[in-house]
Structure 1
Amino acid sequence: MRLFCLVCLTMIAFAANSILSRMAIGSEHMDAGSFGLLRLASGAAVLMVLCRMQGVAARQDLRASLKGGAALTLYIAGFSLAYQQLDAGLGALVLFGVVQMSMFVWGVLRGTAVSSGQVAGAVMAFLGLAYVVWPDGSGAVPLGASLLMAAAGLGWGIYSILGRGAAQPLAATAVNFLWSTAMFLPIALWLGSSTMSLCGAVLAVLSGAVTSGIGYALWYRLLPQILPAVAATVQLSVPVIAILAGAVLLGEAIGLRLIFGSAAVLGGIALVVLQAPARKALAVK
């Protein structure tokens, strides 16, 4: 029961990143560049403290740090800029869909065996995502912002792939956040700072220190206790939580297009996870 509650809390934290970002950036409490920079800096600070508390040396190979920092920077830049226009729930769906599909494609390119069910699931998820973001003439879903969030998803997918082999995930995450803060600084300066209210700063720190820093640390601690397929499946709840929270807290509309598209994306990803050849072989045994 304790494990279940902690997993639920972590998924809520992940979804909260979309809510907090949309509240700060979409409501113009803070510009995207400043929000992303403060989120990274506060996340790095908390992760360094956690490393110190656990007696873990916050160090990593320079090459790995540069790759991880660059991938994290792509994620933060696309994520922050996209939420200037996208609704929280829609943004989470695009992000999650691209992350999972990019990791699946990478596995295929690396020679990982795939089943026909997984291929069908990947096609279904892609079509569902395309259906949600495809321009319909109403302007309800900004294509440019959707592409920015897709870039963020690609960045997070790359970051996740790079982090799979980390011997000390907490230390690696702390170092990557530090490098990404430095890499994102010129981007924030280039974008310019037009808005920075106290409310926006608080939301950015909450997103960086709590729902990102502590959230990621908690997730990495829980991962060894749950099966990989379960870990992938429970993350299907993140876009759903973000969509519902966006409707309740931000008054975002939930139309049929979003409902049908979300069902296709999440259902397709569920097929990819559950129809993995290794998993089916275990089921036969």
Structure 2
Amino acid sequence: MSPARIVLLTALAMLAFAGNSLLCRIALKQTAIDAASFTTIRLISGALMLGLLLRWRGRSAVVGGNWPSAFALFVYTAGFSFAYVRLSAATGALLLFGAVQATMIGYGVWRGERLARLQLAGFLLALGGLVGLMLPGLAAPPLVSALLMLGAGLAWGIYSLRGKGAGDPTQVTAGNFLRAVPITAALSLLMVNELSIDRAGVGYAVLSGALTSGLGYAIWYQALPALKATQAAIVQLSVPVLAAVGGIVLLGEPISWRMALASGAILGGIALVILEKRQTNAISGKTDGLKD
């Protein structure tokens, strides 16, 4: 896969992830839909969209995916929805992707990966920008909601790591969505007394499932094999920034110089990580050429 294609796929995936935070928060804040129904409609819509895509390609969704990954997907989507009942878009994205990056970096280090000096500087710059953006002026989030979002981030990190080298990314993602449907249907049945649905809420759930979830995850699964676990974690630091910008436009959150400076630090730190990898690869290629 060419570097340009990797960058494009990664950028589209990050936009989709940020869109999920915004769609979920808007639905649960501004419509009557309950969290369990949002989760169920989101997963069903994602499964249908991916199934249609595979049918167009002449492939089957049934043979892809596996039950452990499907369960991780369910835990992520359910925790995500219930957490956003009380969390703001920015706080939720911070907790979610903080947990995701911790999971993936921890896995990478456990497998023997190490950050080069410039990569470490880029990571610290990005993390500092994230802290500077999110923490000052924010009240402590509700404990239960925060724990739910941290659990969702852990599950998404596991789901992403399980996707590396798992086969055709769209087929795998479709199979996992399909397997997650009966699990989330059981959740909705257990919470039938809390059932609340309206047209707008269903519309946001369908958009979240079909576009920013189903297609977004398929895109991410295509980019993921070309990224190290540490790089995949670091690049996701851009998602809270994108979610915060979306919150300004869609939820009326104010913009400030702090937002602009923190965004520059986060995106600049990510660029350092990516550029260091490319430079290392180039040097390695030259060395191999001299040995020949």
Give the TM-score normalised by the residue count of structure 2.
0.77
Instruction: Tell me whether 1:57 sits opposite 2:60 in the alignment.
Output: yes
Aligned counterparts, 1:165-176, within 5 A = 165-176=165-176
Match of 1:111 in 2: 112
- The answer to whether the 8 Å contact 1:75/1:155 transfers is yes
Q: Distance in 2 between matches of 1:211 and 1:27?
A: 19
Q: Distance in 2 between matches of 1:18 and 1:158?
A: 19
Q: Distance in 1 between matches of 2:146 and 2:127?
A: 14
Q: CA deviation at 1:129?
A: 6.8
Which amino acid in the other structure matches residue 95 of structure 1?
L
Gaps of 5+ in 1: none
Which amino acid in the other structure matches residue 96 of structure 1?
F
- The answer to whether the 8 Å contact 2:235/2:270 transfers is no
Aligned counterparts, 1:29-68, within 5 A = 29-60=32-63, 65-68=66-69
Q: Distance in 2 between matches of 1:102 and 1:148?
A: 15
- The answer to whether the 8 Å contact 1:101/1:122 transfers is no
Residue deviations 1:88-128 (CA, integer Å, cap 9, x gap): 12322322232122111101112234445556666777787
Match of 1:195 in 2: 196
Q: CA deviation at 1:238?
A: 2.6
Moved more, 250-259 or 87-96: 250-259
Secondary structure in 2 matching 1:196:
coil
Q: CA deviation at 1:252?
A: 3.0
Provide the aligned length of Structure 1 versus Structure 2. 276
Residue deviations 1:142-173 (CA, integer Å, cap 9, x gap): 33322221111111110011011121111111
Which amino acid in the other structure matches residue 187 of structure 1?
L
Kindly name which structure, 1 or 2, has the bigger radius of gyration based on alpha carbons.
Answer: 2
Q: CA deviation at 1:80?
A: 0.5
Q: Distance in 2 between matches of 1:24 and 1:281?
A: 45
Match of 1:282 in 2: 281
Match of 2:78 in 1: 77
Which amino acid in the other structure matches residue 228 of structure 1?
L
2:30 to 27, 36, 40: 27
1:13 to 13, 16, 26: 16
Moved more, 267-276 or 151-160: 267-276
Moved more, 251-260 or 99-108: 251-260
- The answer to whether the 8 Å contact 1:82/1:146 transfers is yes
Q: CA deviation at 1:175?
A: 0.8
Q: Distance in 2 between matches of 1:118 and 1:102?
A: 18
Which amino acid in the other structure matches residue 32 of structure 2?
H
Match of 2:184 in 1: 184
Secondary structure in 1 matching 2:66:
helix
Q: Distance in 2 between matches of 1:195 and 1:141?
A: 25
Match of 1:228 in 2: 227
Secondary structure in 2 matching 1:34:
helix
Which amino acid in the other structure matches residue 158 of structure 1?
I
Match of 2:289 in 1: none
Q: Distance in 1 between matches of 2:260 and 2:143?
A: 18
Q: Distance in 2 between matches of 1:282 and 1:25?
A: 45
Gaps of 5+ in 2: 287-292
Aligned counterparts, 1:82-101, within 5 A = 82-101=83-102
Q: CA RMSD in A?
A: 3.6
Q: Distance in 2 between matches of 1:208 and 1:87?
A: 20
Q: CA deviation at 1:66?
A: 1.1
Q: Distance in 1 between matches of 2:40 and 2:168?
A: 25
Q: Distance in 2 between matches of 1:124 and 1:140?
A: 24
Q: CA deviation at 1:45?
A: 1.0
Q: CA deviation at 1:72?
A: 0.4
Q: CA deviation at 1:213?
A: 1.5
Q: Distance in 2 between matches of 1:129 and 1:234?
A: 12
Which amino acid in the other structure matches residue 104 of structure 1?
I
Q: Distance in 1 between matches of 2:142 and 2:245?
A: 20
Relative to structure 1, the CA distance from residue 91 to residue 274 in structure 2 (aligned partners, 3 Å threshold; closer, same or farther) is farther
Q: CA deviation at 1:190?
A: 3.1
Secondary structure in 1 matching 2:69:
helix
